[in-house]
Structures are given as structure tokens and as C-alpha cells.
């Protein structure tokens, strides 16, 4: 197909060597096809950090089916799920997802079990934290030194 660009990069668990090769291919393609120079640097960035304050407040899920639903009032109904859907929703709601002030979400809970909960997201982080405290979680804005992809036109 002349004139079209097909870029395919595997995603998943891979060796560091394979990941480095794929990064180099992607970097070369960005420069060649789009005139964009890329690099990775560590930067101090304001992030939303999710922590587990009291694991004892979360009981293992008794539900057998995994589900995640956002209700019309903005509440989350989580059934037999990991923390991942909650993290995504926190990012979408409070991390200015894809906005000019987007903040990364950092999961420092170490929580891997499945749980069930009804969580009212609220309008502010304070309201969210009041709700999350029922389950032993908290979210704070904190500065973290994280890897950032830097893109520049050449």
C-alpha cells in the first residue's frame, strides 16, 4: 500500500532487550515518518498517588462475576474486581485526563486482591477521600520523579 504507514509494536510482557529494540524502532519511525525527535527523561511531576491506609477495611469479594459500572449520579459499582477500574476512573475524573494539566496516577497500594464496593466519586479529592477512607484507600497530590516521553519537532 503506497502512501500508507503501518506501525505495529507488540505490547505485553517482554524481555528488556526486546523492549529496547522496539523503543528504538518506534523512535526511528517517529523521526522518519513524522519529523519528531523523541527521548525519555526523568522529571518531577505532580501525580495523583493512591495509597492503602488500612487493608483491614477491605473484605474479599463474595461476588462471583466481575463487573464495573458507573451510575448516572457518578458513583462506581465495583464487583469482584481489582483496583484497576477505580484507578482509571480517578484519573479520568481528577487527573484532567488528556487535558493540559493531566496528572499521572501512581498506584502505591500494593493491593492485588479482588473486592466489591460502591464508591461515590464526589466533586473534589476531599469528597473522594472521605468515601475512599471507608475502604482504607486515600488519594493525594504528590510530586514524583517519573519517566516522561519528550517529543520535539525536528
The DSSP element (H or E) to which 33 belongs, if any, is helix 16-34
In a domain, 35, yes or no: no
In a domain, 121, yes or no: yes
**pLDDT at residue 137 in the model:** 93
Tens-level pLDDT at each residue, the chain (154 residues): 444 444 444 455 568 888 889 889 999 999 999 999 999 899 999 999 999 988 777 766 777 788 888 888 888 898 888 899 899 889 888 877 666 678 899 999 998 888 888 999 888 999 999 999 999 999 999 999 999 888 999 8
In a domain, 73, yes or no: yes
**pLDDT at residue 68 in the model:** 86
In a domain, 19, yes or no: no
In a domain, 122, yes or no: yes
- Structural domain boundaries enclosing 59: 43-146
Domains held by the chain: number: 1
In a domain, 33, yes or no: no
pTM above 0.85, yes or no: no
**pLDDT at residue 59 in the model:** 67
In a domain, 27, yes or no: no
**pLDDT at residue 99 in the model:** 65
CA atoms within 13 A on the CB side of 150: 9
Amino acid at each position: 500500500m503506497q502512501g500508507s504507514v503501518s506501525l505495529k509494536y507488540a505490547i505485553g510482557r517482554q524481555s528488556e532487550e526486546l523492549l529496547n529494540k522496539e523503543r528504538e524502532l518506534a523512535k526511528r519511525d517517529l523521526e522518519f515518518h513524522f519529523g519528531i525527535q523523541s527521548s525519555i527523561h526523568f522529571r518531577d511531576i505532580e501525580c495523583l498517588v493512591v495509597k492503602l491506609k488500612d487493608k483491614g477495611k477491605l473484605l474479599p469479594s463474595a461476588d462471583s462475576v466481575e463487573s464495573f459500572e458507573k451510575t448516572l449520579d457518578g458513583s462506581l459499582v465495583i464487583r469482584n474486581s481489582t483496583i484497576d477500574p477505580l484507578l482509571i476512573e480517578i484519573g479520568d475524573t481528577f487527573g484532567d485526563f488528556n487535558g493540559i494539566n493531566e496528572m499521572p496516577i501512581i498506584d502505591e497500594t500494593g493491593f492485588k486482591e479482588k473486592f466489591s464496593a460502591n464508591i461515590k466519586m464526589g466533586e473534589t479529592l476531599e469528597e473522594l477521600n472521605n468515601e475512599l477512607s471507608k475502604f482504607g484507600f486515600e488519594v493525594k497530590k504528590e510530586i514524583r520523579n517519573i519517566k516522561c516521553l519528550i517529543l520535539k519537532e525536528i
